[in-house]
Amino acid sequence: MGKEEKVYMFDSILRDGSQAQGVSFSVTDKIKIVKKLDEMGIDYIEAGNPSSNPKDREFFEEIKSLKFLNSKLCAFGSTRRSGIKAEEDEGLEKLINSGADVFAIFGKAWDFQVTDIIKTSLLENLNMIGDSIKYLVSLNKEVVFDAEHFFDGFKNNKEYSIEVLNVAKRAGAKWIVLCDTNGGTMPNEVIDIIQYLVKDLKFDNIGVHFHDDAGMAVANSIMAVHYGVRHVQGTFTGVGERCGNANLSSIIANLSLKMDYTTIKKDMLEYLTVAFRYISEACNMTPNERTPYVGNCAFSHKGGMHIDAVRKNPKSFEHINPAFVGNSRRILVSEVSGRSTILPALRKINPKIDKDSPETKAVVKRVKDLEYIGYQFEGAEGSFELLMRKELNVFKPSFKLIEYKVIAERPYISDLSATAIVKIMVNGKLEITAADGKGPVNALDKALRKALGVFYKELADVYLTDYKVRVISGTKATSAKIRVLIESTDGISTWTTVGVSYDIIEASWLALVDSVEYKLIQSNKEE
Amino acid sequence: MGKEEKVYMFDSILRDGSQAQGVSFSVTDKIKIVKKLDEMGIDYIEAGNPSSNPKDREFFEEIKSLKFLNSKLCAFGSTRRSGIKAEEDEGLEKLINSGADVFAIFGKAWDFQVTDIIKTSLLENLNMIGDSIKYLVSLNKEVVFDAEHFFDGFKNNKEYSIEVLNVAKRAGAKWIVLCDTNGGTMPNEVIDIIQYLVKDLKFDNIGVHFHDDAGMAVANSIMAVHYGVRHVQGTFTGVGERCGNANLSSIIANLSLKMDYTTIKKDMLEYLTVAFRYISEACNMTPNERTPYVGNCAFSHKGGMHIDAVRKNPKSFEHINPAFVGNSRRILVSEVSGRSTILPALRKINPKIDKDSPETKAVVKRVKDLEYIGYQFEGAEGSFELLMRKELNVFKPSFKLIEYKVIAERPYISDLSATAIVKIMVNGKLEITAADGKGPVNALDKALRKALGVFYKELADVYLTDYKVRVISGTKATSAKIRVLIESTDGISTWTTVGVSYDIIEASWLALVDSVEYKLIQSNKEE
């Protein structure tokens, strides 16, 4: 269908996504996400609103050092205010000063919004749009014009909404983006309107921006492309205002795999699942496991009949090969899945192992058992390496825990609210020590490293760089299970470990222990 | 558009939904859900597969006593096996014995499935379908025929897939349901195929059953209705195999509110949100808060500009009036929102306050200050109410903390790994007590409620229903700040509170304290 024609992908997770309930990015989070989107080959990254938000200005300052980006970095902002010149508008000045490559300027395309909400004249609204775009274009900037509320505007006053587009086009906007800002437009309306613009009015530089308030954001985007649109805005995980934006990971997969369009580079499609999970985590959101293509459940089979059929021929119950998007089939309730997945890692430890070795089966079983009680090894390669070594009987613990005790109290003196005592044994020698810290986990971390440092000098350089907590089952409240992920570094490499328990301190302890054990294995390898 | 024409709603949450990862119904759960779907006015309830599943047979036995159902209860099963008579087929016999009102029989409509998966001849497959339907119709049963894999079949061998439909029609099936079993069909394909069947081949009794593997299930269902389909299958919350089924709550709202079709009775639409949450809970699933129309976020506004606009006129950023589906607007309190956001809440406490009162400014400043150090009041209306009361000087603490001490240790005896001691003072009286628990927070929660319970009997019914932990800045690792959100209930209402600290125990403590203080304020109001 698409004959490999290019459709430009525009991600707004750092802007529209940040307006979603529960999402709040630090500058560091934003830079992580930009790097990942760039690596995936997203064409445009809308990274914030430097005209209204000081945190976003700080981000644009920091990102300037990342000179190697292939994606175009886009700053979002309003047209000039009513009644002044574009050159005098503070918001536009801040936008320009951000140093972004591209500027997404939004203006109203629904007459009601002009007269009743921003309360200016229909003519002045057109001038605000035209002037702002012309000004940016005169500075040789690329401009994306977001025609806010376009679909509602079209239904209410078709002529005016079209005039808004024409003004933006004449002023030199590269892309004119039709926004379904309130998210309530149906696919048949989208099809009719896009056909009218593309076939009858000959617009050739149209983009779309859909919200999911009626559950139509992905379908509307796909139908828009089918009828001639070549620029699609959305967010990589679908998160955005209210019910969310169009999910770009679904759009990329649908356009590339089902409709023969070019979106991101073909060889990056197989990283779609990893990128989805990475970006969800960077947003501090649990990845929605039922997300099309990239969710954990997307290729999971439960019914016996379906499992049998998939074994005979996967296409019987899979609409695509999960490997195309880097996902994998999950056979639930069965022990036969995953052996070929883990084989390469096992062979690094013992090259003689093959798919049918008892060790392979034992590792798969252990992973399944631990996942059942809440573990997750996808992002915890340190703990997974230890798990394999334990099952292969090539793991020797570096120490034995005799006891830890952690005390947290309030009121507390100074800012250290917790104390930890750790008693361990290494090669028959006892070591007991204590440390205080900002909270119980910090105290425990310090005490463990202090005790182990007596025996293992190579731990001196290790420190934690990230700490994540997930409550796994929300219904049992404070006695729910807790999963802790810890990221550690020795300044050269970085590794992640995992622990699960009803007790957050114990879960943290398990991840801390894996972190030091993993480091000690790596040091031994080097010797 | 729809001119109030009736579209029949067919819910399969108890059958297709039960094939989703993580879903498992007891007979009691199923009966609860049947009653709710019946109350909502769903036309057909597909309640299980009595031919293959003994639990489902038990369910159909039990449900016989519910004589007052308006919905038609449907049993799902396969056509007769190959090579025998329909009258001799055990599966069909068990179906009939279930006593259901309607029988949904599935048969293959994709030639590849016949030859490669069930491995019979194309002719025998047609006979299996025709014989089974004829047999049930001869017993005066209503039959819904699920043409499994119809869309993939149509694309592979159009003639055969159409012949399957014709056989079912001639045999007397009331509805012929086109299933997108693997969920990969695009809306433009659906539109073309439905138009062909309805306009060219004059089928007038077609239903559809879509899966969400490409994110298209709702859109495909809506487009099918737009082109003549009058029977839509799905599940009320969208849960189903893999990525899920078409979400019936979205379909009902879209068809009834946007396209002028009749689905469930008009006066039941305003219970859509309550029913969605009730059924999610009965499935033991957290309701997806970003679900169109009925999710918690569906009408929540965060950005200051949007909040101002919605205040001026709700239709500026709401595609429908949330009351139509029994949902409500949520104005999220965040650093990006201004004074007008919080004014209505402040006025509930003190009606004399206006936008320029010093109290209003003080509350905004306090919110900003606390958000700066990691608080988030968006989802924490309990803590926000307390914050306002403190700034308005109408808050009197119910107790004073003298000291708490929490001890967590390993190894531990039994499964209670932590102990908490709490010493508080209420009206000059000291109370000290202790509790052990699954982890430090659980122990602290139990100890606090135990100590306070001596003075406040109304706390006896309160318990925690959710507990969320967020590490706010991931770069300082275990000394990073931690935000805890706690959801509590007294069995009638539900409220959320928040605490932030470097110490997870202290953060939990702050949220626990707000939870009990909020409850005590509500109890005082009632008196």
pLDDT, tens digit, 9 for 90 and up, residues B377-411: 867 889 999 999 999 999 999 999 999 999 999 99
Average the pLDDT over A197-225 and give the result: 98
Q: Distance between CA atoms of B319 and B328, rounded to whole angstroms? A: 13
Average the pLDDT over A184-209 and give the result: 97
Tell me the domain boundaries of chain B: 8-282, 300-391, 400-526
Mutation site for B-interface testing, chosen from A213, A331, A485 by largest number of B Cβ within 10 Å:
A213
> Which among A299, A467, A470 has CB closest to B474?
A467
Under an 8 A CB cutoff, do B242 and A290 touch?
yes
Q: What residues of B are in contact with residue A292 (Cβ under 8 Å)?
A: 212-215, 243
- The radius of gyration of chain B's CA atoms, rounded to the nearest angstrom, is 28
Please indicate if any CB of chain B lies within 8 Å of the CB of A297: yes
> Which among B290, B464, B505 has CB closest to A243?
B290
Which segment of A120-134, A274-288, A320-334, B423-437 scores lowest on mean pLDDT?
A320-334
Under an 8 A CB cutoff, do B474 and A28 touch?
yes
For the cut 90, the answer to whether the pLDDT of residue A256 exceeds it is yes
pLDDT tens track for B49-85: 998 777 888 899 999 887 689 999 999 999 999 999 9
Under an 8 A CB cutoff, do A469 and B466 touch?
no
State residue B475's pLDDT score.
Answer: 40
Please indicate if any CB of chain B lies within 8 Å of the CB of A469: yes
Structure tokens at A120: 């200016």
pLDDT tens track for B423-441: 999 999 999 999 999 899 9
For the cut 70, the answer to whether the pLDDT of residue B479 exceeds it is no
Q: Which 3-state string (H, E, C) describes B259-328?
A: CCCECCCHHHHHHHHHHHHHHHHHCCCCCCCCCCCCCCCCCEECCHHHHHHHHHCHHHCCCCCHHHHCCC
Q: How far is B308 from chain A (nearest CA, A)?
A: 9
For residue B80, give the DSSP letter. P
Q: Give yes or no on whether B8-282 and B400-526 have one common fold.
A: no
Q: How far is A68 from chain B (nearest CA, A)?
A: 24
Please indicate if any CB of chain A lies within 8 Å of the CB of B324: no
State residue B444's pLDDT score.
Answer: 94
Q: How far is B502 from chain A (nearest CA, A)?
A: 6
pTM greater than the 0.90 cutoff: no
State residue A201's pLDDT score.
Answer: 97
Q: Which of A441, A453, A451 is nearest to A407 (CA)?
A: A441
Under an 8 A CB cutoff, do A442 and B479 touch?
yes
Structure tokens at B303: 């950005």
State residue A487's pLDDT score.
Answer: 86
Under an 8 A CB cutoff, do B379 and A113 touch?
no
Mutation site for B-interface testing, chosen from A243, A405, A422 by largest number of B Cβ within 10 Å:
A243
pLDDT tens track for B234-260: 999 999 999 999 999 999 999 999 999
Q: How far is A385 from chain B (nearest CA, A)?
A: 22
Q: How far is A169 from chain B (nearest CA, A)?
A: 25
Residues 2-21 of B with CB under 8 A from A: 19-21
Under an 8 A CB cutoff, do B184 and A319 touch?
yes
State residue B28's pLDDT score.
Answer: 80
Under an 8 A CB cutoff, do B298 and A509 touch?
no
Please indicate if any CB of chain A lies within 8 Å of the CB of B331: no
| Nearest residue of chain B to residue A480 (CA atoms) | B467
* Whole-number percent of chain B with pLDDT over 70: 95
CATH of domain A299-334: 4.10.430.20
| Nearest residue of chain A to residue B299 (CA atoms) | A242
For the cut 50, the answer to whether the pLDDT of residue A347 exceeds it is yes
State residue B21's pLDDT score.
Answer: 78
For the cut 60, the answer to whether the pLDDT of residue A310 exceeds it is yes
Beta strands in A15-83 (DSSP E): 44-48, 72-78
Does the domain formed by B400-526 have CATH 3.90.1150.10?
Answer: no
For the cut 80, the answer to whether the pLDDT of residue A261 exceeds it is yes
Average the pLDDT over B445-458 and give the result: 94
Q: Distance between CA atoms of A457 and A468, rounded to whole angstroms? A: 27
| Nearest residue of chain A to residue B507 (CA atoms) | A439
pLDDT tens track for B268-286: 999 999 899 889 877 867 7
Q: Distance between CA atoms of B292 and B289, rounded to whole angstroms? A: 9
State residue A338's pLDDT score.
Answer: 55
Residues 200-259 of A with CB under 8 A from B: 212-216, 218-220, 222-223, 226, 239, 241-244, 247, 250, 253-254, 258-259
Under an 8 A CB cutoff, do A215 and B186 touch?
no
Residue A429 burial (C-beta neighbours within 10 Å; 0-12, 13-18, 19+) = exposed
State residue A337's pLDDT score.
Answer: 44
For the cut 90, the answer to whether the pLDDT of residue A2 exceeds it is no
Alpha-helical regions (H) of B122-263:
122-138, 150-156, 158-171, 187-195, 217-226, 248-253
Under an 8 A CB cutoff, do A442 and B408 touch?
no
Q: What residues of A are in contact with residue B117 (Cβ under 8 Å)?
A: 309, 312-313, 316
Residues 363-392 of B with CB under 8 A from A: 376, 378-379
pLDDT tens track for A155-189: 999 999 999 999 999 999 999 999 999 999 999 99
Q: Distance between CA atoms of A352 and A357, rounded to whole angstroms? A: 9
Mutation site for A-interface testing, chosen from B151, B410, B425 by largest number of A Cβ within 10 Å:
B410
Under an 8 A CB cutoff, do B442 and A478 touch?
yes
pLDDT tens track for A25-34: 888 889 999 9
The model's confidence at residue A341, banded by pLDDT at 50, 70 and 90, is low
| Nearest residue of chain B to residue A483 (CA atoms) | B469
Average per-residue pLDDT for chain A: 91
Q: What residues of A are in contact with residue B182 (Cβ under 8 Å)?
A: 315, 317-319
Average per-residue pLDDT for chain B: 91
Report helix, strand or coil for A79.
Answer: coil
* Whole-number percent of chain B with pLDDT over 90: 68
Q: Which of B285, B255, B498 is nearest to B387 (CA)?
A: B498
Please indicate if any CB of chain B lies within 8 Å of the CB of A344: no
State residue A391's pLDDT score.
Answer: 93
Average the pLDDT over B347-361 and give the result: 88
Interface A–B counts its CB contacts (< 8 A) at 348
Residues 119-138 of A with CB under 8 A from B: none
Under an 8 A CB cutoff, do B21 and A442 touch?
no
Q: What residues of B are in contact with residue A312 (Cβ under 8 Å)?
A: 116-117
| Nearest residue of chain B to residue A212 (CA atoms) | B292
For the cut 80, the answer to whether the pLDDT of residue A283 exceeds it is yes
Are B343 and B350 spatial neighbours (Cβ–Cβ below 8 Å)?
A: no
State residue B337's pLDDT score.
Answer: 61
State residue B476's pLDDT score.
Answer: 42
Q: What residues of B are in contact with residue A441 (Cβ under 8 Å)?
A: 478, 504
State residue A335's pLDDT score.
Answer: 35
pLDDT tens track for A390-403: 999 999 999 999 99
Structure tokens at B21: 């990862």
State residue A86's pLDDT score.
Answer: 97
> Which among A288, A306, A438 has CB closest to B502?
A438
Q: Distance between CA atoms of B320 and B294, rounded to whole angstroms? A: 12
State residue A255's pLDDT score.
Answer: 98
Q: What residues of B are in contact with residue A442 (Cβ under 8 Å)?
A: 478-479, 502
The model's confidence at residue A269, banded by pLDDT at 50, 70 and 90, is very high
Under an 8 A CB cutoff, do B504 and A509 touch?
no
Under an 8 A CB cutoff, do A297 and B441 touch?
no
Are A14 and A46 spatial neighbours (Cβ–Cβ below 8 Å)?
A: yes
For the cut 90, the answer to whether the pLDDT of residue B138 exceeds it is yes
Which residues are registered as beta bridge partners of B487? B466, B496
Are A234 and A208 spatial neighbours (Cβ–Cβ below 8 Å)?
A: no
* Higher pLDDT pick, A469 / A242: A242
What does the angle CA B62 – CA B67 – CA B73 come to, to the nearest 5 degrees? 70
pLDDT tens track for A48-85: 999 877 788 889 999 988 768 999 999 999 999 999 99
The Cβ of residue B22 has, within 10 Å, a number of other Cβ atoms equal to 14
* Higher pLDDT pick, A371 / A97: A97
Q: Which of A488, A497, A495 is nearest to A461 (CA)?
A: A488
Under an 8 A CB cutoff, do B407 and A405 touch?
yes
Please indicate if any CB of chain A lies within 8 Å of the CB of B140: no
Q: What's the topology of domain B8-282?
A: TIM Barrel (3.20.20)
Residues 168-197 of A with CB under 8 A from B: 181-184, 186-188
Structure tokens at A515: 């972190």
Q: How far is A338 from chain B (nearest CA, A)?
A: 17
Under an 8 A CB cutoff, do B243 and A439 touch?
no
Q: What residues of A are in contact with residue B470 (Cβ under 8 Å)?
A: 284, 469
